[in-house]
Structures are given as structure tokens and as C-alpha cells.
Amino acid sequence: MKLIAIDSSGNVASVALFDGEKVLGEYSVDHKKTHSVTLLPMLKELTERVDYALEETDAVVLSSGPGSFTGLRIGGAAGKGIAAALGCPILPVPTLEGLCFRLPEWQGRICPMLDARRSQVYSGIWRFEGEELICIEPGKALALEEMLDMLNRSEEEVIFLGDGCDRYREAIEAGMRTGYRIAPAHLRYQSAAALAVRAASLGNAAFVAADDFAPEYLRQSQAERERAERLAGSGS
């Protein structure tokens, strides 16, 4: 299955090409430019460098959330446009599961953690049994303290990854009472290649039509929350 993968759920803009057996190429950038400026030029350069035939694409893989509201919308719009132009479906992959596929050899619990702001994280707990990813605690938006308390109920070692590790490193160090590690920098953040490998494991059954794809934000955006607060305050 030939896949174009796009992950724009965080600060890293990442695109990858996967032929079903190997990653043909990956282009990832963590810089100040917005994803709307970087994603399509990155994909164009990557396809040209590896002589990838766009018309042979079986699906466009997209990070389906959670993550940055703006980033997910930009990636979703780009991916839907590519899929529509190529006449192929979209294969959505939850952001946190894609992160877990950066560490398939880890023997223990995996805790991807994204900064959701307001002292909250998007997080969950998984582990690998052989090549299968097993969900222990599904992804959700919750207080960091609640996530750490959940992890401390078991003595099994856990590895953290995601930008939440950077934002809340001191709180993790202070709050963890069981063995833990933080993934090294080259494995800590979103990767379109890892997303593609996870997508391939899901297979055709996970396909959705381009028009039907919508990110799963797990909570309201800041603008939506502020609007709700204003309405509540006005009694409307």
C-alpha cells in the first residue's frame, strides 16, 4: 500500500512517503514558519527526490488529532485536497498512536503527552505486545496531575514522549514515583513516517472518503471556550 503521510499536529511539520514495505523518504521541519507555508513545498520536493509517482498513491495518511487546532486544520485541508486530486481515500491515525509507533521496541508502558494548555495534556497509555499496539488508557484531555497519578498506580516503567515532556518536565520529575524515562530528542516528536507505519497496520478498513475526514480535537478550541464563557457571563 503506497501512502503519502502528513503530520502537522504539533510544532513539527512532517511529510513522508511509504511504499508498503519501507519509508521512501521523510521531510520534517521544526521552525517558525507556519505549516500552511511548509507542508506542500516539502511534499513536492520529497516526491521529486525519490521519483514518487503520485498517481499510484493508495491513500493519504493524516494525523487525526488531538493536537494543535490550527495545525490539524491546515494538515487536514492539505490532505483532503491531495486526496481529492488523486482520487484516493484518507487513512486517519490518532496523533497519540502515531507517536507510540516511534518506540515499537520499548518494553513497558508508553505515554505520549501533548501540551493542551491550561495545565492540561492530551495523553493516554499504550504498550506493544509483539507488533501490536495495545491501548491501556485511551487518549483524552486531562490535568497533568491526573495523568501522573494514573501512571503511579503501577510499578511498571514508562517512557514519555511528545511536546508535553518539554513543557512539563519539572512537574513530571517531581510527580513520578515509579520508574520512567523521557524519549531522546530524535524520537520524542511527531513523525509522518511513524504515522504511515501505523496507518499500514490499520489497513483498508480504516479508509474514509476525503469529504468525510474531520480531526478529533478532544475538546473545544480556545476561541470556542472563550465564547462559551462570554455567553455564560452574559446570561445568554
Are the CB atoms for 123 and 112 separated by under 8 Å?
yes
Mean pLDDT of 114-120: 91
Has residue 37 been placed in a domain? yes
Distance of CA 131 to the CA centre of its chain: 19
Q: Convert the pLDDT of each residue in 32-86 to its tens digit.
A: 778 999 999 999 999 999 999 999 999 999 999 999 999 999 999 999 999 999 9
90 assigned to some structural domain: yes
The three three-digit cell numbers of residue 48, written as one number = 521529486
Tell whether 66 and 117 lie within a shared domain: no
For residues 177 and 149, give the distance between their C-alpha atoms in angstroms, rounded to a whole number.
9
Contact 110, 194 (CB under 8 A): no
**The domain spanning residue 72 has which CATH number?**
3.30.420.40
Specify whether 194 is located in the same domain as 89: yes
Q: Are strands 3-7 and 59-63 parallel, antiparallel or unpaired?
A: parallel
How many distinct structural domains can be found in the chain? 2
Q: Is residue 236 part of a domain?
A: no
Q: Is the pLDDT of residue 234 over 60?
A: no
Please give the single-letter amino acid code of residue 133: L
Euclidean distance between CA atoms 102 and 194, whole angstroms: 6
Distance CA 177, CA 54 (A): 49
Same domain, 7 and 86: yes
19-28 average pLDDT score: 96
Residue 233 in domain: no
Let me know whether 183 and 200 are in one domain. no
Does residue 58 sit within a domain? yes
Q: Is the pLDDT of residue 232 over 90?
A: no
- Cα–Cα distance measured from residue 62 to residue 81, given in angstroms and rounded to the nearest whole number: 12
Q: Is residue 159 part of a domain?
A: yes
User: Of 146, 164, 187, which residue constitutes the final position of a domain?
Assistant: 187
117 neighbors 226 (Cβ within 8 angstroms)? no
pLDDT-based confidence at 225, cuts 50/70/90?
very low
Lowest-pLDDT choice from 16-30, 89-103, 210-224: 210-224
Peptide bond into 66 cis (omega under 30): yes
Q: Are residues 67 and 10 in the same domain?
A: yes
10 φ/ψ angles, rounded to the nearest 5 degrees: -140, -155
What are residue 208's phi and psi, to 5 degrees? Answer: -135, 150
Is residue 235 very low, low, confident or very high in pLDDT (cuts 50, 70, 90)? low
List the 23-29 sheet strands across, edge first.
23-29, 13-18, 3-7, 59-63, 90-93
Considering the domain architecture, whether residues 181 and 140 belong to the same structural domain is answered as: yes
Distance CA 92, CA 32 (A): 26
Task: Please give the distance of CA 105 from its chain centroid, rounded to a whole number.
Answer: 19
Q: Quickly list DSSP for 147-208.
A: HHHHHTTS-S-EEEESTHHHHTHHHHHHH--S-EEE--GGGSS--HHHHHHHHHHH-GGG-B
Indicate the SS3 state at residue 60.
strand
Say yes or no: 146 and 160 in one domain.
yes
Residue 200 sits in the same domain as residue 89: yes
In a domain, 225, yes or no: no
Q: Is the pLDDT of residue 229 over 50?
A: no
- Say if 168 falls within a structural domain: yes
168 and 135 within one domain: yes
**Residue 169: domain span:** 103-187
Contact at 8 Å (CB) between 119 and 28? no
